[in-house]
Chains A and B, each alone.
Chain A
Amino acid sequence: MVMFWVSLLAISVLLYLLLDGFDLGVGMLLGTTNSEDNRRAMLNAIGPVWDGNETWLVVTGVILWGAFPVVYATLLSAFYIPVILMLLGLILRGVSFEFRNQHLGTRWIWDSCFILGSLAASFMQGVMVGAMVQGLRFTDGQYSGGVFGWFSDFSILCGAGLCLGYALLGACWLVRKCDSEVREVARRQIPILAAAVLAFLVVVFIHALSDNLPIMHRWIDRPYLFAFPAIGVVAAVVLASSILHRNDYWPFYMVSLMFVAAFGTLALSFWPYMIPFEITIDAAAAPPSTLSFMFWGEGLWVFPLMLLYTAIGYRVFSGKLGSMHGHY
């Protein structure tokens, strides 16, 4: 039962990273153009799916609370400021979709909110991942780092890195969904963003080595972990060649694969800890009466339905946008 909920949690986090990742990325890239036609095309490329994508954040949150209450309580309270700033960013960008079409005179307000909201949410997510990798301070099993325990140059670096990663994913999505000018612009952005992400990874690695982060020992203990960076490298090579061949389809999947590899690396280096290296999965799990209630009531059948629904949603709006009319 515990393993079941860990798997669902992992799937939800990964889906959130990939799906909201690209639409947060498109949100940030909106800041790179001033043309209303381009902006509209970019928003249309994520309009039908963005709120479904964000659902996975809520799904992650409630699975965490129900199945692993200790982790939910510890992480959210330790990340008080980043979580609140992330939520405010998501609020601002969420309402902007609807509001920007209400009145031309105020459109610039909502475009700014959309860009800044996307940036803030992405940055804060990166900061939280970075702080987790670096390790939070615990005393006698209780978090003891205070309100600013997450703050370090490493976590800030990771915040910037995730923004770049999301922007890269977003650019690949635009290449896949759009044509004409938006696609051309995104094509030019991909190599720059990819190079920046690569540089970021190198810096993070050096930083982790020089700080002698505990996570590095995992790599020595578990050499099979190197399989994931290897997948990442292969994906990067295919990405580069598909860009050179002006392919619209593959870049998005290759960057997604890089995200999967990064996620797999972290998840398996943490294993069996949920909060490294303090709280294990078993210690965090809710009592069996809770887990089985959630299993029979939703995990077993509603979760697959949600996956199915997500798949159908993407199928309905698959392909290039072209003449598709929509609400946004």
Chain B
Amino acid sequence: MDLTALLLSRIQFGFTVSFHIIFPAFTIGLAAWLTVLEALHLRTGRPVYRTLFEFWLKIFGVAFGMGVVSGVVMAFQFGTNWSVLSKMSGPIQGPLLSFETFWAFTLEAGFFGVLIFARNRVSPWFYLFSSAMVALGTALSAFWIMVNNTWMQVPLGYVVQDGRFVPVDWTKIIFNSAVWSRFPHMILAAFLTGAFCVAATGAWYLLREKHRAEGRVMLRMGLFLAAVLVPVQLVFGHFVGDYVHDYQPAKFAAIEGRWHDEQPASEVVIALPDPTAETNKYEIKIPVLGSIIASMSLTSKEVGLTDFPPQDRPPVLIPFATFRIMVGCGLIMLALAWLGSYLSVKDRLERNRLLLWSIFLSFPLPFIAIITGWWTAEVGRQPWTVYGVLRTADSMTPFLTAPAALTSLILFCAVYVFIFSFGTYYIYRLLRGGPSNWSMSVVHQEPVAAAGYIAAGE
């Protein structure tokens, strides 16, 4: 495969967006968790909630900073590498992204300042309100990003005029069924990420027999939330499948690894798709299940990839594999959350070191699920940027050269790997150090900021 400017631009966009998505995925859940902790502390007065709040706020700060800086890149990359797309779709995508900035980014950045700097300058209720606004801001941000992406996946409410997409019906662009299955799917994924990271940290402390009180609260809250949310997530995942089935049949066929029409269709559980022979190797499949999943029917006919001309087909291997990895992660999370919650209710979890270890080691799962899910959606919609209307190959900046694209890709990789390694290391250090007891430090009110500073800087 030649390293064309097109391929390099696609890799660069995929790399920067995958890197970016890690942080919002984490901070959306964390912001909600911080709000819950602050509310619980106001309501019960138990110091453990305040200790946990202060602890997770530090981690939120590091992750939020990395999310902001990697997000700024996204606002400009449409223009740098995809100038034809951004010129044509600007009248629709531009406003959607500007809503994200105006409504969400402002809200989170603004009230985040209050969380960090103004604990002692505002009333407890306003502080709680501020954490809720940060949480709302992060969720709103995800909403507009999902509306924007969904319009590219399912373009609605526009006409093409003078070579650009002119919006004619904003309600169709914003309030369509694809948005309302994909946005909850993303938000739930983010909440699950928060839940598993919190539970894993709790399990880690219990395994190391440190910070037991805080660890117990984290483990329980994380697991209970996940036990409720994973099943809901599976349902929304199914709704997302429905929109893909209805609007993007080629993507659906690629995810299913279905090369030819089948009636009733079977479900390929695992296989190695072979695009040249247009068939699957080492295939294991379950009869009829494919029709049930796709159309809730025992007899429906489901389309195969060979119905589409080769130039309109997505790559098969990546969506096929990433979809299965995502579902696999989801099922492991379901098992852990349910088993953990059950044992926790029975008060036997803390003695079960094997399960504690599993929960501790499970923290990458939600991140893997989000990234592979995103790849399923984005690789599966190829070869289009605006589905069925504008091809990826026609979207690119026409004069962009391969050396320029390669240079920028290498620079992005170098800088991101650099800050990501340090960022993860610092978050690891914060997590390893654990929460410092809040009720102890409050006695010396004045040096708190300085003490926190020295503790953080050692």
Contacts and interface: CB of A to CB of B under 8 A. Distances in A.
Contacts of B78: 65, 76
B102 A290 contact: no
A306 interface: yes
B99 interface: yes
Contact of B91 (A54, A64, A290): A290
Interface stretch (A96-104, A161-169, A198-206, A270-278): A96-104
A302 B102 contact: yes
B90 A313 contact: no
Most buried by A among B98, B170, B456: B98
Interface in B385-437: 397, 399-401, 404, 407-408, 411-412, 415, 419, 422-423, 426, 429-430
A84 B69 contact: no
Interface residues of A, number: 69
B449 A325 contact: yes
Contact of B166 (A104, A289, A294, A327): A289
A127 B348 CA distance: 65
B232 interface: no
A158 interface: no
Interface string A95-114: 10111011110110100000
B394 to A, nearest CB: 14
A61 B407 CA distance: 23
B359 interface: no
B98 A94 contact: no
A67 B94 contact: yes
Contacts of A103: 426, 429, 457-458
B62 interface: yes
Contacts of B109: 51-52, 55
Contacts of B73: 87, 91
B315 interface: no
Interface residues of B, number: 72
Interface stretch (B81-89, B291-299, B363-371): B81-89
Contacts of B331: none
Contacts of A290: 91-92, 94-95, 166-167
Interface in B287-320: none
Contacts of B100: 62
A93 to B, nearest CB: 9
Given A80-B397, A290-B167, A58 B79 contact: no
A91 B422 CA distance: 13
A66 interface: yes
A321 to B, nearest CB: 12
Interface of B: 61-62, 65-66, 68-70, 72-73, 75-76, 78-81, 83-84, 86-95, 97-103, 105-106, 109-110, 113, 116-118, 121, 161, 164, 166-168, 170, 397, 399-401, 404, 407-408, 411-412, 415, 419, 422-423, 426, 429-430, 448-450, 453, 456-458
Given A62-B97, A69-B94, A76-B79, 9 more contacts: A48-B117, A58-B75, A69-B90, A72-B90, A76-B86, A80-B81, A80-B397, A95-B66, A286-B94
9 contacts: A62-B98, A80-B81, A88-B412, A91-B415, A97-B65, A101-B457, A103-B458, A309-B106, A326-B116
